[in-house]
């Protein structure tokens, strides 16, 4: 695994070129340009606020500002995750000419699609920081956990992307299954709501590593609380397992890509 990671690092120039290419292709002749990076999360946040408002009306309680801020903070990394997986699944099949003609670590294709989505994430994150300032959320020492949590999110996404992209190369219907899961996955992930809303069923929502990461991110950014060390450890171990599995499976299947694509 470490050899594969070192090889990816050695091809960092190619990684940069592929990332910039993906960005150019994505926004070529787009009237809104990079504003799409902000527009899509805003739409998702608005949908979450409507759902949260409906839940508040049913429960006959007011919709608090903290709930709106929580939805905003959790929606942004979740949209990064789903967009990254969506592009990563197609990374090998969509670059078949490169896979069959020249040698390079094919994991670079998956990573470049994730880095392109990370650019969108950074653009949208700048807007979210402004919103957090407007809502006077404030900062605390626990905010220092945020970079680690985002790193977990990226590594988990990369590991899962490696598994799904290689599976999609051999079984082309994988992308359709992934689309269905991503479409309904938001209702099984604490994005528009908190895991604590489910009472004794809260652990079921946090078993999803993405849910654990998002809830922990909400604790340190919005609630200014210490992360729940149990669920933080769980998310870390799950990320390490998925990343290791992804690198191992992808590296083992890589020699078969050219002849099966």
At 162-214, the pLDDT tens digits run 999 999 999 988 999 999 998 888 888 888 888 887 778 888 889 999 999 99
The pLDDT value recorded for residue 120 is 86
Q: Is 237 exposed, middle or buried (0-12, 13-18, 19+ CB in 10 A)?
A: exposed
Percent of the chain at pLDDT above 90? 41
The pLDDT value recorded for residue 198 is 78
At residue 110's C-alpha, the angle toward residues 245 and 28, to 5°, is 160
Residues 6+ apart with CB under 8 A from 70: 194, 218, 222
Q: Is pLDDT at 243 greater than 80 in this prediction?
A: yes
pLDDT class of 130 with cuts at 50, 70, 90: confident
Q: Using an 8 Å Cβ cutoff, are 46 and 72 in contact?
A: no
Domain, as residue range, for 112:
2-260
Q: Is 172 exposed, middle or buried (0-12, 13-18, 19+ CB in 10 A)?
A: exposed
Q: Using an 8 Å Cβ cutoff, are 155 and 118 in contact?
A: no
Q: Is pLDDT at 135 greater than 90 in this prediction?
A: no
The pLDDT value recorded for residue 33 is 60
CA distance 191 to 206: 11
Kindly report the average pLDDT of the chain as a whole number: 86
The pLDDT value recorded for residue 32 is 60
CA distance 41 to 72: 8
Q: Is pLDDT at 58 greater than 80 in this prediction?
A: no
Q: What is the pLDDT of residues 61-94, one digit of tens each?
A: 776 777 788 888 899 999 999 999 999 999 998 8
Q: How many domains is the chain built from? A: 1
The pLDDT value recorded for residue 30 is 61
The pLDDT value recorded for residue 240 is 96
The pLDDT value recorded for residue 126 is 83
User: Mean pLDDT, to the nearest integer, of 140-166?
Assistant: 94
Dmax (CA) for the chain in angstroms is 62
């Amino acid at each position: 695994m470490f050899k594969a990671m070192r090889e990816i690092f050695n091809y960092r120039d190619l990684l940069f070129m592929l990332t910039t290419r993906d960005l150019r292709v994505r926004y070529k002749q787009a009237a809104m340009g990079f504003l799409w990076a902000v527009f899509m999360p805003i739409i998702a946040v608005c949908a979450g606020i409507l759902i949260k408002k409906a839940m508040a009306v049913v429960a006959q309680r007011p919709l608090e500002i903290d709930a709106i801020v929580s939805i905003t903070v959790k929606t942004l990394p979740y949209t990064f995750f789903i967009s990254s997986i969506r592009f990563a699944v197609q990374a090998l099949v969509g670059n078949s000419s490169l896979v069959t003609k020249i040698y390079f670590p094919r994991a670079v294709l998956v990573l470049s699609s994730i880095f392109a989505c990370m650019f969108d994430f950074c653009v949208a994150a700048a807007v979210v920081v402004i919103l957090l300032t407007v809502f006077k959320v404030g900062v605390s020492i626990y905010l220092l956990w945020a970079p680690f949590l985002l790193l977990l999110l990226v590594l988990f996404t990369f590991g899962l992307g490696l598994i799904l992209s290689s599976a999609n190369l051999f079984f082309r219907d994988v992308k359709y299954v992934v689309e269905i899961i991503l479409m309904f996955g938001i209702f099984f992930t604490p994005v528009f709501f908190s895991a604590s809303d489910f009472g004794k069923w809260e652990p079921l929502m946090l078993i999803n590593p993405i849910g654990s990461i998002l809830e922990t991110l909400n604790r340190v950014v919005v609630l200014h609380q210490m992360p729940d060390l149990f669920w933080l450890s769980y998310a870390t171990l799950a990320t390490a397992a998925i990343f290791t599995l992804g690198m191992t499976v992808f590296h083992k299947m890589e020699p078969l890509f050219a002849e099966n694509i």
